[in-house]
Amino acid sequence: MKKGVTTRERIITKSAELFNTYGYHGCSLSDIMEATKLKKGGIYNHFKNKDEIAVEAFDYNYDRVFRRFRKVLAEATTPLEKLYKVVDAYVSFADDPVVKGGGCPIFNTAMDATNSHPQLKRKARLGIEGLLTYIGIKLKDGIKEGVFRTDINVDEVAGLMIMTLEGALVMSQVNDSKEFVDIASRFVKDYIKNNLVQETEITNT
C-alpha cells in the first residue's frame, strides 16, 4: 500500500520483463535481484522458487496482453471494427511492446518453454487458447450480428489470424523492423474484409 505497489508486485513486474526478454534460462535470480533492488532473501520471502516467479510473471504478462487488447478495442463498436482492432493491437506490440523485451509474451514463452519447462509450456498453451477464445468471441459476435459470414470456421480463422500475426512479430523482432507486422496487418485486414464479411449488400444491389 505504501508506494501503491507491494514488493511482491514489484518482483513480478520486473521479472516479467526479464523473463520476456531473456527467457527462463537466460534470466537469473541475480538479474531479478538487481532489477528489484532486493536481496536474495527478500525475493524468497515472497516466492518459494524461481519457477513460481516465472509462472506468476507469465500470468502478469498474459494479463498485460489482454489489457492491451481491451484498451485498443475500447473504442470499437461494431464486430468488424473490433476485429480490425485486434489486428491493430498486434501491430501495437511492435510499436509499443506490452512488456520489455518485445514481441508477444505468450508466444515468447511458448517457444522458450516448449521443450524445457512443462509447467510454463502448459501456461503458454492455455495462453494461446485464451487468444483463440478472445478472437473467437469477436468472430461469433459478428456472426450473430450478421456482419460475418455464417459458414466461417471460427477456430480456424482465429488460429490463422494469430499464427500470421505472431509469426510476423517474431520476424519483425529479429529483423528490427516493422515491415513484416505491417504486411501481416494489411493481409489479415484484407482477409477479414474479403472473406469474413457478409457480402449481402453488395450482392443484393
Distance of CA 73 to the CA centre of its chain: 14
46 touches DNA by CB under 7 A? yes
35 or 171: CB nearest its own copies:
171
125 touches its own copies by CB under 8 A? yes
38 touches DNA by CB under 7 A? yes
29 touches DNA by CB under 7 A? yes
75 touches DNA by CB under 7 A? no
107 or 148: CB nearest its own copies:
107
44 touches its own copies by CB under 8 A? no
37 or 74: CB nearest DNA:
37
119 touches DNA by CB under 7 A? no
Q: Which of 9, 22, 35, 50 binds DNA (CB under 7 A)?
A: 50
- Name the segment binding its own copies (CB under 8 A); options: 49-57, 83-91, 121-129, 197-205: 121-129
Q: Where are the alpha helices (DSSP H) in 103-178?
A: 105-113, 118-144, 154-175
CB of 113 to its own copies, least distance (A): 8
C-alpha cell at 141: 459476435
Report the partner that residue 42 touches, choosing among DNA, its own copies, none (CB closer than 5 to 8 A by kind): DNA
Give long-range contacts, CB 8 A cutoff, 24+ apart: 122-131: 123/55, 123/58, 123/59, 123/62, 124/58, 127/58, 127/62, 127/65, 128/162, 130/62, 130/66, 130/106, 131/65, 131/106, 131/158, 131/162
Report the partner that residue 121 touches, choosing among its own copies, DNA, none (CB closer than 5 to 8 A by kind): its own copies
Nearby residues of 109 by Cβ (< 8 Å), 6 or more positions away: 19, 20, 58, 61, 120, 123, 124, 127
